[in-house]
Amino acid sequence: MNSRVVALEILKEGISNFFISRTSWEKTVRFKDEDRAFIRKIVYGTLRYYFELSKRVDTFLKNPKNTPPYIKNILIMGAYELIEMKTPSYAVVNEYTKISPPKFKGLVNAILRRISEVAEEIDLGTGLPQWLYDRLKSQLGEDLELFLKSIESHEISLRAVNKTRDKIIKDFALNGIGTYPMKFSPWGIKCSDGVDLNTFKQFENGDFTFQDESSQLVGIVVNPQKGERILDAFGGVGTKTTHLIQMEPESLIFYNDLSRSKTSIAMDNFKRLRKMPSKIMNLDILNDEIDEKFDKILVDAPCTALGTIGKHPDLLLRITESDIEENSEMQLRMIDKLWNNLSTGGTLIYSVCTVTKEETDGVIEKFLSSHSGRCVDPFDGIFDFDFNGFGVQLLKWMEGFYISKIIKEG
Ligand SMILES: C[S@@+](CC[C@H](N)C(=O)[O-])C[C@H]1O[C@@H](n2cnc3c(N)ncnc32)[C@H](O)[C@@H]1O
């Protein structure tokens, strides 16, 4: 099958469901490595600049509203190749005309030709919806540039689990894959995109797992100790849970997540990495009761996940302005609820993979105004990141990710 046809099918899923499933990516398995990388690039790139590309394509159409969505997507993806990837015009025009339904071949050919004539002059800007750009600009100021750069990076991040980082780097080198150690995480490895590492036997064996550097630093902040009872309240697919067990196998790590499907993936990860939590729960933190106390609670809360746009550009199609406020209210309720399960003197670690003020400092500031907790520098004596009294935004050093550490006072 034609790689662009598969890319269009995956793009369609991203646009209609605001999410690209694993099953969808599995359609690319039968392609050669370079074609698979090409499909990923045009799907991610098109989604990343979808709003802007769509606006530009509309200006070339007589009847944008009456153009069938499939044809519109062909034109948008073709435009992305012309403007951003600089694929030669004849290839773009020919290939997309070839895969168009007979009735629309003439239209696709004509429009892509016209776009190719001006492609050099088109600037897609940041690709963010205007309201999001404006909000981030006012909150991040000059750091907006760092944010935009971080979401353009397509490097793969790994955490060494059952082999040392050096050994894994050597193993990859033997397979012709260049990697390098992360700067801050002692377990972390970076590798360029386009390699399907999850088909590696080392992955199946549990030598490593996928995890961003910022997310690995959460383990350093939690710093599990022997015998400590630690609740990972939003365990998801178990990435941080397994890290905590790896760091201190004699700690008692409790995994929880509302989603059964996430828990099922987490179970696969627990088995593959040979890191089983002491207890696995599927409670709704906002509505169910947990009758236990913990020494530490990790609140890796659901959020707008703006720091992960690079990996999930489909987020840009789904996020709305009200999501930011709604998430921050929910995050506050989550910490508030879990605070009751924390022993006096215990530590609550709050983390979110986003950069909005509302979901980061805003949540912690509101929480502290009505609870006797004390914020401390999560990386005190370890790394010299900027602690602002509430938490640390890691954007200056890696991805957009926020960590706060609160001690419960008596
Ligand atoms: C940011 S993700 C957690 C990622 C995870 N810590 C990891 O490292 O893989 C947030 C998780 O919260 C879960 N969640 C959302 N609402 C919840 C609730 N009310 N109670 C429990 N879990 C919830 C979601 O299913 C999702 O897996």
Separation of 241 CA from ligand 1 center, angstroms? 12
Q: Which atom of ligand 1 is nearest to the CA of 288?
A: 20
Does 54 map to a domain? yes
Separation of 331 CA from ligand 1 center, angstroms? 11
- Is the pLDDT at 130 greater than 70? The verdict is yes
Question: How far apart are the C-alpha atoms of 282 and 271, rounded to whole Å?
Answer: 18
On whether both 103 and 233 belong to a single domain, the answer is no
* Both structure tokens of 124: 């897609």
- pLDDT tens per residue, range 355-385: 999 999 999 999 999 999 999 999 999 999 9
Q: Which atom of ligand 1 is nearest to the CA of 285?
A: 20
Q: Which atom of ligand 1 is nearest to the CA of 215?
A: 8
Percentage with pLDDT > 70 across the chain: 99
3-state SS, residue 303: coil
Sequential DSSP letters for 119-155: GGG---TT-S-HHHHHHHHHHHTTHHHHHHHHTT---
> Residue 409 has what DSSP assignment?
P
On whether both 98 and 220 belong to a single domain, the answer is no
Question: How far apart are the C-alpha atoms of 229 and 131, rounded to whole Å?
Answer: 43
Quickly count helices (H) and strands (E) in the chain: 17, 12
> What average pLDDT does range 234-255 have in this prediction?
98
On whether both 329 and 229 belong to a single domain, the answer is yes
Separation of 236 CA from ligand 1 center, angstroms? 5
Separation of 65 CA from ligand 1 center, angstroms? 38
Pick the last residue of a domain from 121, 152, 172.
121
The interaxial angle of helices 105-118 and 89-98, nearest 10 deg, is 160
pLDDT of residue 193: 67
Pick the last residue of a domain from 121, 138, 163.
121
> What average pLDDT does range 281-294 have in this prediction?
96
Closest Cα to residue 182, out of 379, 378, 398, 401? 398
Q: For a ligand 1 pocket test, name from 212, 254, 258 the mutation site with the most ligand atoms within 8 angstroms of its C-beta.
A: 258
Question: What sign for the dihedral angle of Cα 28, 30, 33, 35?
Answer: negative
On whether both 112 and 217 belong to a single domain, the answer is no
Mean pLDDT score of the chain = 94
On whether both 228 and 86 belong to a single domain, the answer is no
Pick the last residue of a domain from 65, 91, 121.
121
CATH code for the domain of 33: 1.10.940.10
Give every CB contact of residue 32 below 8 A, 6+ residues apart in sequence: none
Range of the domain at 397: 213-408
- pLDDT tens per residue, range 31-67: 888 888 899 899 999 999 998 999 999 999 998 889 9
Separation of 93 CA from ligand 1 center, angstroms? 44
Separation of 235 CA from ligand 1 center, angstroms? 6
Query: What are the phi and psi torsion angles at 170 (to 5°)?
Result: -65, -45
On whether both 109 and 252 belong to a single domain, the answer is no
How many domains are there within the chain?
2
For ligand 1, residues with CB inside 6 Å are 234-237, 239-240, 257-259, 262, 284-286, 300, 302
Task: Please tell me the residue having the least CA distance from ligand 1 atom 23.
Answer: 258
Task: Please tell me the residue having the least CA distance from ligand 1 atom 10.
Answer: 302
Task: Please tell me the residue having the least CA distance from ligand 1 atom 27.
Answer: 236
CATH code for the domain of 259: 3.40.50.150
8 Å CB contact between 327 and 363: no
**Residue 13 — very low, low, confident or very high, per pLDDT cuts 50/70/90?**
confident
Listed in order, strand segments (DSSP E) in 151-304 are 156-160, 179-181, 188-191, 208-210, 229-232, 252-256, 279-281, 294-300
Task: Please tell me the residue having the least CA distance from ligand 1 atom 12.
Answer: 234
> What average pLDDT does range 222-232 have in this prediction?
98
Does 162 map to a domain? no
Does 152 map to a domain? no
Question: How far apart are the C-alpha atoms of 382 and 3, rounded to whole Å?
Answer: 47
- Is the pLDDT at 21 greater than 80? The verdict is no
Does 172 map to a domain? no
Q: How far is CA 281 from the centre of its chain?
A: 24
pLDDT of residue 127: 87
Does 241 map to a domain? yes
- pLDDT tens per residue, range 171-210: 999 888 889 999 999 999 999 766 667 778 889 999 999 9
Does 325 map to a domain? yes
Question: How far apart are the C-alpha atoms of 245 and 34, rounded to whole Å?
Answer: 37
Separation of 300 CA from ligand 1 center, angstroms? 7
Separation of 174 CA from ligand 1 center, angstroms? 37
8 Å CB contact between 247 and 273: no
- pLDDT tens per residue, range 57-69: 999 999 888 999 9
On whether both 223 and 361 belong to a single domain, the answer is yes
